[in-house]
Amino acid sequence: MDDKIPQAAPRPSATFDEYTNSEIRRAASTGIYDIRGSGAKRKLPHFDDLLFLGASISRYPLEGYRERCGTEVTLGDRFAKKPLELKIPITIAGMSFGSLSGQAKEALGRGANLAGTSTTTGDGGMTPEERGHSKLLVYQYLPSRYGMNPDDLRKADAIEVVVGQGAKPGGGGMLLGQKINDRVAAMRSLPKGIDQRSACRHPDWTGPDDLEIKILELREITNWEKPIFVKIGGSRPYYDTALAVKSGADVIVLDGMQGGTAATQNVFIEHVGQPTLACIRPAVKALQELDMHRKVQIIVSGGIRNGADVAKAMALGADAVSIGSAALIAMGDNDPFYEEEYRKLGTTAGSYDAWHLGKDPAGITTQDPELASRLDPEKAGRRLANYLKVMTLEAQTIARACGKNHVHNLEPEDLVALTVESAAMAQVPLAGTSWVPGQGY
Amino acid sequence: MNSLDFSTLGLRAINQKLQSLDPGTNEREWTITNPMGQHAIACGLTAPISVTVDGHAGFYCAGMNQNAEVTINGHAGVGVAENMMSGIVRIKGNASQAAGATAHGGLLIIEGDASSRCGISMKGIDIVVGGSVGHMSGFMAQLGHMVICGDAGEALGDSIYEAKLFVAGSVESLGADCIEKEMTAEHEKTLADLLEKAQINKDAKLFRRYGSARTLYNFDIDQADAY
């Protein structure tokens, strides 16, 4: 027997963990807060914490590939003369030309076209290439109004008034000087190479009463043809949804904190807003109380990754979902194929989020012509379309197993939760019990 | 002269009529009577016509205007001529907040006073104000000119980019990164031309010029206390 005194193993602090300490050292060294792209990376209650029950003796399922399970969705038929008709309930979220290369925007349009869905502009305006390659294009109306003009407004298939986004509810945009080439600068009416900070509030309206008048103006300018979406970040979904409906929105876009951004402060992304899972039921409740559920459609975004997520969002009351980060991954973002180059940038495939610096090896979040040329818009569009179709098939598979002939017929009753937290947020029973936390025993 | 009575026709019919006019139309003179302070009057016009709003207008009158010349014989509500691309909008009275917000081009003339945030995020428009402007006017102003014949409220030109501001009266305070700049002969000429176009009788020599110090163009932690 060794008579040395046993030593306890070195114990890292759970509070001051490796990442936290590295961030303290980084801040102390640079004097600048950490800016990055993407959405919340912390572990959050999410759709993975929910399970479908499937059919049983009390429910009967539909035959896979034999019995119809609809996926089409109409967006914006409350007031608009020309609502959007989508084949699938998955749309492409707003991402700007500027944050993304022209090739990447083209690929998003191509992929959306093949799958029968819409894509969305971003902060910076509409490019002719994007309009040309997108059969259904939603035009974002943002606080900065960069590139905003009535001709493009009339060319759009829908208008999305952006009040907030999940990664930074209450925050504006940021496009650092490295990505501001001549074209991006001209579209935004600003000098080349400067940091472009987008305002967090709209310049000419504040509050729901003003928003109602703003929506009236947009409808008047576009002959009441275009559906008007209102996009909100996941902070107070019950009230924001009710106020957007009151203001005259045709469609609500609800973005939880896992939703990505081109660039903002890490502290903002990780500490402001609510998880997507926590946002859906309060928003749907607001619609139901106003007798507007399925009349004003709700699109949920923020961490949608597969058909199960789509089906779960639908079951909780969404009419459609929207993807951003997942679409970029489908096109090649963070692909291990570029691992060597990611390592040179001090990161690794799967963790790369310095989208604001414009050095994306995959050629997506960049304005560098050499990097951007790496992305073939046709191939990337095809990959995106494949991915959208797989997600749709997955959602249909689940819906049929639950006996639904349309994905919209999925309902909370089809779900149980694996954790107390997710049960409380989704307002469905904890698995194996009839207990819905927050609703008594 | 064609007359459209708002009290009988309503907003949609009037806007639809004016928006549908062909650029080559011979019907170039229009008057909207009884506007009653309603919103979004004469927005989204594209033809080179002349429209007189004979009374007060609410929010977003002449919003996103292209080519048309709109005159408001009264006061204007929030966001008059917001995001205007071209043309002329003249307000005989005063204008509420955010006049000319984010506008890319054209000429906005406010013969009276303008409230706060006049010219916010302006992107190329020229604005001439016969009277004074409220606080935060020229906030994040990107391009274009704003001429203020009276006084400017606090935080003029906060976070301004490349827009040029001219003030004849007093400035309560300047916003972050906004400084007084040299008035060259070229600036004086530009200013005099704008006053002439606006038909506002004021000596260009009475004005001082303000613009961006450009210290906030690229993020620097040592400038963080500017806010």
Contact criterion met (CB < 8 Å) for A220 and B43: yes
Tell me which chain A residues have a C-beta less than 8 angstroms from the C-beta of B23.
none
Instruction: Using CA coordinates, name the residue in chain B closest to A195.
Output: B218
A38-47 tens-digit pLDDT: 999 999 999 9
Instruction: Using CA coordinates, name the residue in chain B closest to A180.
Output: B218
Q: Is residue B223, in this structure, part of any structural domain at all?
A: no
pLDDT greater at residue A285 or residue A56: A285
The CATH number linked to B170 is 2.160.20.60
Contact criterion met (CB < 8 Å) for B59 and A221: no
Which of B40, B66, B124 lies closest to A189 in CB terms? B124
- Token reading at A352: 């790369």
**What does each of the 227 residues of chain B score in pLDDT, given as a tens digit?**
899 999 999 999 999 999 999 999 999 999 999 999 999 999 999 999 999 999 999 999 999 999 999 999 999 999 999 999 999 999 999 999 999 999 999 999 999 999 999 999 999 999 999 999 999 999 999 999 999 999 999 999 999 999 999 999 999 999 999 999 999 999 999 999 999 999 999 999 999 999 999 988 877 767 666 66
In this prediction, residue A184 has a pLDDT band, given cuts at 50, 70 and 90, of: confident
Q: How close B124 comes to chain A (CA, Å)? A: 8
A373-427 tens-digit pLDDT: 999 999 999 999 999 999 999 999 999 999 999 999 999 999 999 999 999 999 9
In this prediction, residue A441 has a pLDDT band, given cuts at 50, 70 and 90, of: low
What value of ipTM does the predicted structure carry? 0.96
Instruction: Taking each helix axis as running N to C, give the angle between helix A207-221 and helix B6-19, from 0 to 180 degrees, rounded to the nearest 10.
Output: 60
Q: Given CB atoms, is A177 within the 8 Å cutoff of chain B? A: yes
Which of A150, A189, A221 lies closest to B142 in CB terms? A189
Tokens 């818009």 locate to A377
State the burial class of residue A261 (Cβ atoms within 10 Å of its Cβ: 0-12, 13-18, 19+): buried
Which of B40, B117, B124 lies closest to A203 in CB terms? B117
Q: How close B204 comes to chain A (CA, Å)? A: 27
Q: What is the pLDDT of residue B186?
A: 97
The residue among A272, A62, A89 whose CA lies nearest residue A168 is A272
Q: Is residue B44, in this structure, part of any structural domain at all?
A: yes
Q: Is residue B136, in this structure, part of any structural domain at all?
A: yes
A149, A217, A224, A356: best to mutate for the B interface, most B CBs within 10 A: A217
Decide if A410 contacts A89 (C-beta within 8 A).
no
- Residue A369 predicted with pLDDT over 70: yes
Contact criterion met (CB < 8 Å) for A203 and B11: no
Domains of chain A: 51-426 (3.20.20.70)
The residue among B124, B99, B97, B98 whose CA lies nearest residue B109 is B99
DSSP result, A320-386: EEEESHHHHHHHTTT-GGGHHHHHHTT--TTT---GGGT--TTSSS---HHHHTTS-HHHHHHHHHH
Domain with B100 in it: 2-214
Q: How far apart are CA A235 and CA A257, in angstroms?
A: 9
Q: What is the pLDDT of residue B221?
A: 67
Q: What is the pLDDT of residue A220?
A: 98
Tell me which chain B residues have a C-beta less than 8 angstroms from the C-beta of A27.
none
The overall longest dimension of chain A from CA atoms, in Å, is 90
Q: Given CB atoms, is B177 within the 8 Å cutoff of chain A? A: no
What average pLDDT does chain A have?
Answer: 94
Q: Is residue B219, in this structure, part of any structural domain at all?
A: no
Q: Given CB atoms, is A205 within the 8 Å cutoff of chain B? A: yes
Chain A neighbours among B 143-162 (CB < 8 Å)? Answer: 143, 159, 161-162
Q: Is residue B224, in this structure, part of any structural domain at all?
A: no
- Residue A175 predicted with pLDDT over 80: no
Phi, psi of B124 (to 5 degrees): 140, -10
Cβ–Cβ pairs < 8 A, chains A and B: 101
Contact criterion met (CB < 8 Å) for B44 and A150: yes
Q: How close B159 comes to chain A (CA, Å)? A: 10
Instruction: Using CA coordinates, name the residue in chain A closest to B15.
Output: A220
Instruction: Using CA coordinates, name the residue in chain A closest to B220.
Output: A32
Decide if A23 contacts A34 (C-beta within 8 A).
yes
Element at A392 (helix H, strand E): helix A377-401
Q: How close A182 comes to chain B (CA, Å)? A: 16
Decide if A405 contacts A67 (C-beta within 8 A).
yes
Element at A27 (helix H, strand E): helix A18-30
Instruction: Using CA coordinates, name the residue in chain A closest to B84.
Output: A149
Which of A191, A199, A214 lies closest to B140 in CB terms? A199
Q: What is the pLDDT of residue A189?
A: 83
Q: What is the pLDDT of residue A180?
A: 76
- Residue A33 predicted with pLDDT over 90: no
Decide if A220 contacts B44 (C-beta within 8 A).
yes
Chain A neighbours among B 42-61 (CB < 8 Å)? Answer: 43-44, 46, 58-60
Contact criterion met (CB < 8 Å) for A214 and B15: no
Instruction: Using CA coordinates, name the residue in chain A closest to B44.
Output: A221
A203-222 tens-digit pLDDT: 999 999 999 999 999 999 99
Q: Given CB atoms, is B124 within the 8 Å cutoff of chain A? A: yes
Q: Is residue B225, in this structure, part of any structural domain at all?
A: no
Q: How far apart are CA A354 and CA A365, in angstroms?
A: 9
Q: Which range, of A54-58, A143-147, A187-191, B196-200, averages the lowest pLDDT?
A: A187-191
In this prediction, residue A440 has a pLDDT band, given cuts at 50, 70 and 90, of: low
- Token reading at A332: 């090649």
What pTM, to 2 d.p., does this model score?
0.95
DSSP result, A165-223: -TTSTT---EE-GGG--HHHHHHTTS-TTS-EEPPSS-TT--HHHHHHHHHHHHHHHTT
Dihedral, CA atoms, A227, A216, B109, A189, nearest 10 degrees?
-30
Q: Is residue B165, in this structure, part of any structural domain at all?
A: yes
Tell me which chain A residues have a C-beta less than 8 angstroms from the C-beta of B98.
203-204
Which of B78, B83, B162 lies closest to A145 in CB terms? B83
Q: Given CB atoms, is B30 within the 8 Å cutoff of chain A? A: no
Sign of CA dihedral A337, A338, A340, A343: negative
Element at B167 (helix H, strand E): strand B164-167
Rounded alpha-carbon distances, angstroms, from residue A164 to A198, A277, A340, B44, B107: 12, 17, 36, 26, 32
Tell me which chain B residues have a C-beta less than 8 angstroms from the C-beta of A190.
142, 161-162
Q: What is the pLDDT of residue B224?
A: 67
Rounded alpha-carbon distances, angstroms, from residue A46 to A265, A277, A418: 23, 6, 10
What percentage of residues in chain A have a pLDDT greater than 90? Answer: 84
- Residue A183 predicted with pLDDT over 90: no
Cβ count near A285 (within 10 Å): 17
Number of domains in chain B: 1
Contact criterion met (CB < 8 Å) for A210 and B59: yes
Instruction: Using CA coordinates, name the residue in chain A closest to B14.
Output: A220
Q: How far apart are CA A286 and CA A249, in angstroms?
A: 14
Q: Given CB atoms, is A216 within the 8 Å cutoff of chain B? A: yes
Dihedral, CA atoms, A255, A257, A263, A265, nearest 10 degrees?
140
Q: Is residue B220, in this structure, part of any structural domain at all?
A: no
Q: How far apart are CA B146 and CA B164, in angstroms?
A: 6
Q: What is the pLDDT of residue A438?
A: 87
Q: How close A261 comes to chain B (CA, Å)? A: 19
Q: Given CB atoms, is B187 within the 8 Å cutoff of chain A? A: no
In this prediction, residue A65 has a pLDDT band, given cuts at 50, 70 and 90, of: confident
Sequence-ordered alpha helix ranges (H) in chain B: 6-19, 185-198
Instruction: Using CA coordinates, name the residue in chain B closest to A188.
Output: B123
Q: How many residues does chain B have?
A: 227
B18, B64, B85, B162: best to mutate for the A interface, most A CBs within 10 A: B64
Q: What is the pLDDT of residue A69?
A: 97
Tell me which chain B residues have a C-beta less than 8 angstroms from the C-beta of A217.
39-40, 43, 59-60, 63
Tell me which chain B residues have a C-beta less than 8 angstroms from the C-beta of A153.
64
What percentage of residues in chain A have a pLDDT greater than 70? Answer: 98
Q: What is the pLDDT of residue B227?
A: 62
Q: What is the pLDDT of residue B114?
A: 98
